[in-house]
Amino acid sequence: FFLLSYRERFHETYPRLKVTVTNGPTPETLALLSAGRIDFGVVTMPFEERPEVERRTVRQVRDCFIAGGKFRELAGRTLSFAELPALPLICLEKNTSSRRYLDEYLAERHVRLEPEFELATSDMIVQFAIRSLGIGCVMEGFAREALRREQVFLLAFDEELPARDMCIVTDRRSPLSPASRALLNLIMQERENGQETCEA
């Protein structure tokens, strides 16, 4: 949901330059970056920072809980995080930064999650939530289209999960390819011009 609009504008400007996009959790993205298999990554905090990794914050994101029609009785209610363990939850796998952040935040409030499903990508969580297989936890940007189509609805809580940073990461040891440098320049120029919106 972050790269797509930039990718479209990049292709209009540089139709002959090829850019390959992969999708994976933050630890996998950082491993690919370290191995020199990608030029840059778009990841969310928190993650274990390393001296060779340069990060630039590009926006803030906020996590939310979404549900499909089977859970309509929860619409209009204000829930507490203490109620989450009783719900059939759909979360990212434990090896992701987003899941680790959620678990640590809730643990501070003495809430421990045991999800029904632990999935590899946020896109899959949205699809499971649309089918009412459980309550999904994703960044709002991933759920935007399903919310717009009213395939899912947002659950309301008595407190919000704090916003966190989405960052572009590069490896100081590896030079950027011309294509990736051009795409990064496009992203950062629009960010500096204030055209980037906040998901918080």
The pLDDT value given to residue 178: 85
Rounded average pLDDT per 10-residue block, the chain, 200 residues: 81 83 85 92 87 91 95 95 96 89 94 94 94 96 93 95 92 88 87 53
Query: Can you tell me the distance from the alpha carbon of 1 to that of 78, in angstroms, rounded to the nearest whole number?
Result: 28
The pLDDT value given to residue 147: 96
The pLDDT value given to residue 199: 40
The pLDDT value given to residue 95: 82
The pLDDT value given to residue 196: 46
* Contact (Cβ atoms closer than 8 angstroms) between residue 48 and residue 55: no
pTM over 0.85: no
